[in-house]
Amino acid sequence: MKSCSYYLILSMLFFTTNLLKAQKINEVKPSDKDLMSWFRDARFGMFIHFGASTSEDFLEEGLNKTEKYEASVKNFNPVDFDANEWVRIAKDAGMKYIVFTTKHHDGFCKWDSKLTDWDVMDATPFKRDIVGELAKACKEAGIELGFYYSIADWHHPEYDPSYSNRNGFHFNPNPDADITKYMDYMYGQIKELCENYQPKLFWFDGSAGFRNPNKKRLLGQQEMADLLNSYGAISNSRLGDNDTLEYVNYLSMGDNMTPSGNIGVDFESAQTMNDNWHFKADDNHWKSPATMLEKLIDITGNGGNYLLNVGPDSKGVIPLESQERLKIMGDWLKKNGAAIYGTQASPYPYEFNWGSITQRHQEKTMTLYLNVVDWPKNGVFKLYGLSNKVVQASLLASSQTLSYDSDFNAATGTNIISIKIPKTAPDPFVSVVALQIEGKAKMEQTFLQQLDGTVILDAFRSTIHDNEFVANKPLRPIDQRIFTVLKKDEGIMPTRGMTVGLDEAGQALSWDFRVIKPGRYKVAVVCSVKEEEYLKADGSMRVTLGEQSVENKLIEHERWDNERMATEMKCAVTILGTIKINKVGMHTLTLEVSSDFKDSKPNVISVQLLPVDH
């Protein structure tokens, strides 16, 4: 086994070489505003997964995985590929940028790389520079271009399988592989892509094999970020799972993952239209346009970008199912784009179950866009917790002026704005109310009861109560800055999908929240499970609110879709019991483990109070 000192020496040599490369390119580092302003304005982009695995040869029976890739690359010939058509589809959808898979884990390059023959020009009958044609089409159409680049490479002879993102997988393992030589190759390709095509973004992937700190040094995170920034390109957090953004420019959420509130950083949520990234002819699990528009307003309302994937078929054609859905989204954006492009996150940091808020600054006023999915049927929309003076309310798409009232409710301690709206939703998907206010938005920063009476308490934004004091540990899961890659530590910790794991008796989470309408509520604990799994019932939990408490085994009573994760992840709902809240105003709720969970640790998404009487 190689010692840590061996890795350190290699890392130092590697860093020195690549640091000199970066310094020679540009001595002046661009500002954050210069690098990120286009990304923050864009909000909506197209992800394109396209390569050898889209070929029919990949499905051939009797071949192992290596043979399938070899055959697919050898016969790769997307005769109907048209870069201008791809860009047209993206532009008609209202997308402002494209991220294309230049090199996936198979190592196959879709440009004319001078550093390998395993590329579209040398290894296939197609012999056209796909990246070059796409770069030209994007430039002509005024759409920014970014490159997906897999750090993992199952084909390169110097890629040591011990660094693989798939349990040591490699097409042809080389016992004498030298990972530092592969790193020189990777840096060379990144520089080649930057100089030849001028991308604005690099979307790294496949670095799971580098999670050991001694291995992670080999990635040269700071050197790579500096190199890209010197070319005017930004990079994502999958360059070594850098969730804290110590080196890179923005956070990539987990696949198909959406945060349930404003996490306080620039982020991007990459999501599929069905269940796969690359084209799969038998995958008909298409998301509806309504679902994807809801995701767009949700992600934008939390300050992020929605990167929606398409998978062209083996001939290079984006499936009709994708095109139809994108056209609907584009039509919506033509009328409501002001609520998306160039906006900032909601002034309220948590989720609304009726939709989302985005905001835009003017010189002396601000416009809040109320992106409403669940349109009230009684002709009145109520907004809780905003204390600014309202200048005007209107429907964004039609500019129809709406009347409103603003009232401070002393009993609840919050301001309530009531807007008179049409009883029928103006839009079949998302209707937008533009609310112009004086000054910077001042909005309640604690959990507020929803319009339908529900109370949603997000576990990731709870206060932690460990059994024992843990030095230097933040009191809230969100403050630990662990969003996508799990880390082991003492006590209560974030778990997969921005959930929170607690399993020992005495461990607890608590929340303060404001009630507008009192009543009786079912107490639901919502946990994350895989589709084929069920919540283990070998432990119990207790919820306490004032002098009331309900306690029960964590037995799954209901199952909800988990709209903020991939389709295979579900919400397992346990009803602990019923409580009654008699008073409006502030309350504190505590979720506590009352008996140990021995078989598994529940991944808690939220505690919800579901109204019985409303």
3-state secondary structure of 329: helix
Distance (Å, rounded) from C-alpha 113 to C-alpha 193?
9
Q: Looking at residue 614, what is its pLDDT? A: 60
What is the residue whose two structure tokens read 């079912």? 522
pLDDT confidence band for 27 (50 / 70 / 90): low
Phi and psi based region of residue 9 (left: phi greater than 0; alpha: psi -120 to 50; beta: remaining)? alpha
Domain 455-611, second-level architecture: Sandwich (2.60)
End-to-end CA distance of the chain: 65
More confident residue, 380 or 9: 380
CA angle 392, 39, 33 (to 5 degrees): 90
Closest by Cα among 144, 150, 132 to 197: 132
Distance (Å, rounded) from C-alpha 380 to C-alpha 374?
12
Helices 221-230 and 179-197: crossing angle in degrees, nearest 10, is 20
Which of 129-133, 249-253, 484-488 comes out lowest in average pLDDT? 484-488
Q: Looking at residue 17, what is its pLDDT? A: 53
Q: What is the pLDDT of residues 139-192, one digit of tens each?
A: 999 999 999 999 999 999 999 999 999 998 999 999 999 999 999 999 999 999
Q: Looking at residue 138, what is its pLDDT? A: 98
Which of 67-71, 248-252, 374-378 comes out lowest in average pLDDT? 67-71
Residues in a beta bridge with 46? 98, 308
Q: Looking at residue 3, what is its pLDDT? A: 47
Q: Looking at residue 113, what is its pLDDT? A: 98
Q: Looking at residue 384, what is its pLDDT? A: 97
Q: What is the mean pLDDT of residues 14-42?
A: 72
Q: Looking at residue 62, what is its pLDDT? A: 79
Count Cβ atoms within 10 A of the Cβ of residue 539 and give its class: 0-12 exposed, 13-18 middle, 19 or more buried. Answer: buried
Distance (Å, rounded) from C-alpha 412 to C-alpha 415?
8
Q: Looking at residue 355, what is its pLDDT? A: 98
Residue 435 has pLDDT above 90, yes or no: yes
Return the CATH number of the domain spanning residue range 4-339.
3.20.20.80
Compute the mean pLDDT over every residue in the chain, rounded to the nearest whole number: 93
* Identity of the highest mean pLDDT range in 91-100, 210-219, 557-566: 91-100
Count Cβ atoms within 10 A of the Cβ of residue 613 and give its class: 0-12 exposed, 13-18 middle, 19 or more buried. Answer: exposed
Phi and psi based region of residue 351 (left: phi greater than 0; alpha: psi -120 to 50; beta: remaining)? beta
Q: How far is CA 97 from the centre of its chain?
A: 16
Q: Looking at residue 25, what is its pLDDT? A: 47
Asked if 99 contacts 48 with a C-beta cutoff of 8 angstroms, the reply is: yes
Q: What is the mean pLDDT of residues 366-395?
A: 97
Q: Looking at residue 4, what is its pLDDT? A: 47
Question: Considering only the top CATH level, what class is 355-444?
Answer: mainly beta
Count Cβ atoms within 10 A of the Cβ of residue 127 and give its class: 0-12 exposed, 13-18 middle, 19 or more buried. Answer: exposed
Closest by Cα among 71, 78, 43 to 57: 71
pTM for this structure? 0.94
Could you state, in order of their start, the residue ranges of all structural domains in the chain?
Answer: 4-339, 355-444, 455-611
Q: What is the pLDDT of residues 311-342, one digit of tens each?
A: 999 999 999 999 999 999 999 999 999 999 99
